[in-house]
Amino acid sequence: MVINRSPSPYPRRGGPSCLMIIVLIAVGIGIGFGFTNSDEIVQVIVPTVTPEPTRSAESFAFSAQLYNRDGDTEKAIEAYRFAIDLDPDASNYYIELINLLTIEGDAVEALNVAEQVSLIAPDDPDVLVAVAAAYLQNGERLAEIGERDDALNQYERAIQSAERAIGKNPNLAPAYALQAGALIQQDRDNFNRANELIDLAIALDSSNEVVHFYRGVVLETQGYYDRAIESYEMARQLNPAYLAASLAVAYSYFYTDNRQRAIVTLRDQIEETPNNASLQDALGWMYFLAGQYPEAEATLEKAVALDDSLVRAHAHLGAAYFKNFNYVFAIPSLETAVTAYEANRTEENPLTDSTSLYYNYLAFAYFRENPDWCFIAPNDEAFTAEELFNIVIDQMGPDGIRGENAKIGLEDCRKARIDAGG
């Protein structure tokens, strides 16, 4: 007989199955084992972190090359510093660092590094070239703040270092270019010898930005502005981070009446290098010369904030304040510049047409702020307005534009003295 039993609608009653009991017991044993051996389990599941091995000097140097390739000069400089810290005897790292510092326009730091590597590899021709570049740029920096004698010393050391490099390797094109640049800075009448050196440098290596830059310097000195611009532009094309080339070509454009292109060139470079005081100063001064005094003032304030030691930026900022009738602000900026120029003024290093302008501006600012400052030096300063005007006339002569302006100032002061009962 077949019995058809239908499934019960209710669940079966009774305790857990044997299988469930076995599983629960196993889990309990596992948990107990886990607590007892927790350290060992952690080590198996989460392995101990292994510290990253210390990076080598070569690794940092390779990173520096990549940063430099990508245009990040700041990080490249930092990476080379790390490489030098790890391997202080590797002269090639110093050379690359000096090259980057000179490209960036950091003359003081480039010279510091050059003096270090000179002790490590004094006869290496590549070291001697880098050292020559550092001396030359430092000389240009000193000349800008009026320290002409010290600048001449730096130019001479650049020439000697370049000559030594050529003596050890006559195929080093930058050595000839740097020597030409130093000779021109030393004395503009050295252009014949400078031309010979530049021609040789171009023949040896026409794809070197330093060679093209100093070719531009030599050409500009002789008044060949269009050809100089071509050389500066080639230097920039070969190395877009070459700030000296950007500054030089911008000034060349400006003084050949292509002012808008000059300003655009500097604006574009500032977008890439916003924290460079020399670029901001150049742009601000171009605004000033173009009569855009508010823009000049704002830009030159940035330059001084970036580098308070940049004397010409103080002079330019003071001039912008003066043109904006802000004599209270103009006076301290102009005093900073005039004090620096006066400290370095000698018979061999007289005032120039440019520097004498700031003496006149300061004297007129004194007069307009307080006519008594014509004959009483303000706040224990070194000069009265009358004395500043007389310095300009003595240095520039009475008949040039600076002298004529100074004579007008003296007449204003004479009237002020009469009004004061003097």
User: For the segment 338-365, what is each residue's pLDDT rounded down to a tens digit?
Assistant: 999 998 888 878 899 999 999 999 999 9
Q: Is 163 helix (H, G, I), strand (E, B) or coil?
A: helix
Query: CB atoms < 10 A from the CB of 20, how many?
Result: 10
Indicate if the pLDDT at residue 299 is higher than 90.
Answer: yes
421 pLDDT band (50/70/90 cuts)? low
Distance of CA 388 to the CA centre of its chain: 33
Residues 359, 402: Cα–Cα separation, whole Å: 10
**Which tens digits make up the pLDDT trace of 231-240?**
999 999 999 9
- The answer to whether 117 and 91 have CB atoms below 8 angstroms apart is yes
For the chain, helix (H) and strand (E) counts, in that order, are 21, 0
pTM, two decimals, is 0.79
Token pair recorded at residue 304: 């001084």
Residues 338, 327: Cα–Cα separation, whole Å: 15
The beta-carbon contacts of 151-155 under 8 Å, at least 24 apart in sequence, are 151/185, 152/186, 155/182, 155/183, 155/185, 155/186
**Which tens digits make up the pLDDT trace of 116-161?**
999 999 999 999 999 999 999 999 988 877 788 899 999 999 999 9
Half-sphere exposure of 321 (CA within 13 A, CB side): 24
- DSSP secondary structure code for residue 52 in this structure: P
**Which tens digits make up the pLDDT trace of 75-127?**
999 999 999 999 999 999 999 999 899 888 888 899 999 999 999 999 999 99
Q: What DSSP string runs through 6-20?
A: PPPSSPPPSS--HHH
Instruction: Write down the residue that tokens 């440019």 correspond to.
Output: 354
Confidence at residue 85, expressed as pLDDT on a 0 to 100 scale:
94
Confidence at residue 84, expressed as pLDDT on a 0 to 100 scale:
95
Within 8 A by CB and 6+ apart from 77, the residues are: 64, 97, 100, 101, 104
